Structure 1
Amino acid sequence: MNIESAFAERPVFVTGADGFVGSHLTERLVDIGANVHVFVRATSSGELRNIRHLRDEVTVHRGDLRDKHSVSNALSALSEYSDSIVFHLAAQAHVGESWDRPYETIDTNVTGTLNLLQSIVDLDLDIAKFDTAGTSEEYGNVDSQVADKHDYHEEGQVILNERSPVNPKSIYATSKLAADFLTMNFYDAYGVPGVTTRMFNNYGPRQNPRYITGTIITQALERDIVELGNLQPKRDMCYVTDGVRGHMYVALDGNPGEEYVYGYGENISMREWTETILEVGTEEGYWNDPEIVQADDRYRPGDSDVEELLVGYEKLHEETGWEPEVEWRDGIRATIEWYAKNKPSWYGRVDWQ
């Protein structure tokens, strides 16, 4: 697939463009010559934290997903086009914070998605694809009542793919599942060409330091201990540029009304992930073997933690040729380097001070 020619001069609309994955997607789209419109939350300062360097190369629309008027006003910019693509990445995307901010999580992730879809219908926009970014958290833990509906690796691991039952275990996961279903509802009812993309555990430069990779790295850079919660869960860690490519491949060649999942294709326990990050950082001279400490107050509430996530991305690979390109240690090395060089971008946002 020739990504460059497919997106050259093509109108695209990105929600959450100033966020972690959104900023990398926006940067890539600008690099290959797309006509990029971005929707970012209006603030009193008007700051663009992660895409400030792209300010003169994108059309910025300010508003709030929860405000239907501002959403419709921004999307009206697509009225003159017939082949535009909408990438919907904006969300309250932190599992732990969804318990602290449940109403904001639902309002942003569910009502916000509804506002986008309804605005497309109300404005009668002729778009080529609407990509709703889902999450691997929607699968949760295996429910014994439907265990026979899952696919299993020969070693007994559950492989999560487009056919797997969902079992969301947090307010965040439930809100994202609702957004997925809304996308499909609007495809069935109005023909909005929606697809859903469930990414598995992205990491990389610019990620909020409250996520697992960022909190490990920022603590190791600043002190002799790394304080964490439950380290038993296993996650399928996918570097952000691979995640961005997944979005772009699905937006071009995914079938409307269908779901696509992707990730690295291997999983690792959070203890092993932590140890690998600390090992790479020590090798590169960023720190000297910090101690790993587990703290009760950093565990998820009750039985809400998801034990294991492992993706089977065969569908996306077979239909588009996508596969991950960045090895774990290479991705970790690039991520540590970014945090080390950009302390002002994250220092006031950590959860361990």
Structure 2
Amino acid sequence: MNLRSELADRPVFITGADGFIGSHLVDRLIEYEADVHVFVRATSSGELNNIRYLRDEITVHRGDLRDKHSVDEALRSLEGHSDTLIFHLAAQAHVGESWDRPYETVDTNITGTLNLLQSVVDLDLDIAKFDTAGTSEEYGNVKEEMIGKHEFEEDGRVLLSERSPVNPTSIYATSKLAADFLTMNYNDAYGLPTVTTRMFNNYGPRQNPRYITGTIITQALEREIVELGNLTPKRDMCYVADGVSGHLHVALGGSAGEQYVYGHGENISMQRWADTILEVGSEHGYWDNPEIVQDEDRFRPGDSDVEELLVGYEKLYEETGWEPKVSWREGIRRTIDWYANNSESWYGRVDWR
């Protein structure tokens, strides 16, 4: 798939555009010369952070997804186009914070999605694709009574695909699953060309330092111990550049009304992930062998932690040719380098001080 020829001059509307994944998507779209429209919260501090340097190359719409009027006003800019792509990435996306801020999580992730979908209908927009970003957290843990519905690798690991049962175990995951279903409802009811994507554990430059990769790196850069929570869960870690590429392949080559899941295609325990990050950082001279210390206060509440996530992305590969390109060690090296050289972007946001 030639992304440049598909995207040049095409209108693209992105919610969550100044966030972690959204900002990398904007970078890629500008590279491919798309007509980029970004929706940012009118109350955001400084308005733009990650994509401020692109301000003259994008169209900025200010508002709040929870405010239907501001969503309508922003989407009016797409009237008259038939090839527009909409990427809905905005969300309260931190599992831990969803327990601390449950009402905001539900309001943003569910009502915000509903407002966006309904505005497309109300304005009668003729769009090419609407991509709602879901999460691997929607799968949760395998219930004993659902084992027969799951697929397994030869070594016994659960392989998650579009056919796998869902079992959200946090307010965040439940709100994202609701957003997924709303997106499909609007395909069924109104024929909107919607798709939903579940990315597996993205990491990379610009990510909130409260996520596992960032919290390991920022602590290692600043002190001799790295305090972490539960290290037994396994995650399928996908570098952000591959995640962005997945979104673009789904939007351009995926079929309306379908779900697509993707990730690195291999999983790793959080103990081994932490060890690997510290190894790579030591190899490149960023720190000198910090010690990992477990802190029970950093564990998720009750039984809400997900034990294991591993994706099978065959559907996306077969339909569009997408596959991950960046190895774990290379992705980790790039991520450490960003945190080491951009302390002003994360220093006041960590949760370990």
1:86 aligns with 2:86: yes
1:67 aligns with 2:74: no
Match of 1:323 in 2: 323
Match of 2:341 in 1: 341
1:146 deviation in Å? 1.0
Match of 1:198 in 2: 198
1:42 deviation in Å? 1.2
Match of 2:276 in 1: 276
1:53 deviation in Å? 0.8
Counterpart of 2:94, as a letter, is H
Counterpart of 1:265, as a letter, is G
Contact 2:41/2:47 (<8 A) preserved: no
Counterpart of 2:178, as a letter, is A
Q: How does 1:245-284 map to 2 (within 5 A)?
A: 245-284=245-284
Q: How does 1:31-70 map to 2 (within 5 A)?
A: 31-43=31-43, 45-70=45-70
Q: CA RMSD in A?
A: 0.6
Match of 2:239 in 1: 239
Match of 1:229 in 2: 229
1:44 deviation in Å? 6.3
Counterpart of 2:127, as a letter, is I
Counterpart of 2:28, as a letter, is R
Match of 2:137 in 1: 137
Q: How does 1:110-149 map to 2 (within 5 A)?
A: 110-149=110-149
2:52 and 2:249 map into 1 onto residues whose CA distance is 26
Q: TM-score, normalised by structure 2?
A: 0.99
**Structure-2 change in CA distance of 1:268 and 1:44 (3 Å):** closer
Q: How does 1:143-182 map to 2 (within 5 A)?
A: 143-182=143-182
Larger displacement relative to structure 2 (309-318 or 73-82)? 73-82
Counterpart of 2:120, as a letter, is I
Counterpart of 1:186, as a letter, is Y
Counterpart of 1:166, as a letter, is V
1:111 and 1:145 map into 2 onto residues whose CA distance is 32
1:250 deviation in Å? 0.3
Deviation digits for residues 123-154 of structure 1, max 9, x if unmatched? Answer: 00000000000000000000111110001001
Percent identity of the aligned residues?
77
1:186 aligns with 2:193: no
Look up the SS of the partner of 2:198 in the other structure: strand
Deviation digits for residues 78-97 of structure 1, max 9, x if unmatched? Answer: 01211100000000000000
**Structure-2 change in CA distance of 1:45 and 1:290 (3 Å):** closer
Q: TM-score, normalised by structure 1?
A: 0.99
Match of 1:26 in 2: 26
Deviation digits for residues 179-220 of structure 1, max 9, x if unmatched? Answer: 000000000001111100000000000000000000000000
1:137 and 1:45 map into 2 onto residues whose CA distance is 29
> Structure 1 regions of 5+ residues with no counterpart?
none
1:251 and 1:122 map into 2 onto residues whose CA distance is 22
Counterpart of 1:339, as a letter, is Y
1:161 deviation in Å? 0.2
Deviation digits for residues 270-313 of structure 1, max 9, x if unmatched? Answer: 00000000000011111000000000110000000000000000
Q: Tell me how many residue pairs correspond in the alignment.
A: 353
2:46 and 2:186 map into 1 onto residues whose CA distance is 32
> Structure 2 regions of 5+ residues with no counterpart?
none
Counterpart of 2:19, as a letter, is G
Counterpart of 1:33, as a letter, is E
Match of 1:209 in 2: 209
Look up the SS of the partner of 2:69 in the other structure: helix
Contact 2:40/2:47 (<8 A) preserved: no
1:43 deviation in Å? 2.1
Look up the SS of the partner of 1:348 in the other structure: coil
Look up the SS of the partner of 1:174 in the other structure: helix
Deviation digits for residues 307-353 of structure 1, max 9, x if unmatched? Answer: 00000000000000000000000000000000000000000000101
Deviation digits for residues 206-260 of structure 1, max 9, x if unmatched? Answer: 0000000000000000000000000000000000000000000000011111000
1:47 deviation in Å? 2.8
2:209 and 2:176 map into 1 onto residues whose CA distance is 21
1:198 and 1:241 map into 2 onto residues whose CA distance is 15
Q: Which 4+ residue blocks in structure 1 deviate beyond 3 angstroms?
A: none
Counterpart of 1:51, as a letter, is I
2:218 and 2:333 map into 1 onto residues whose CA distance is 13
1:99 and 1:313 map into 2 onto residues whose CA distance is 30
2:203 and 2:300 map into 1 onto residues whose CA distance is 20
2:145 and 2:67 map into 1 onto residues whose CA distance is 40
1:60 deviation in Å? 0.3
1:80 and 1:338 map into 2 onto residues whose CA distance is 40
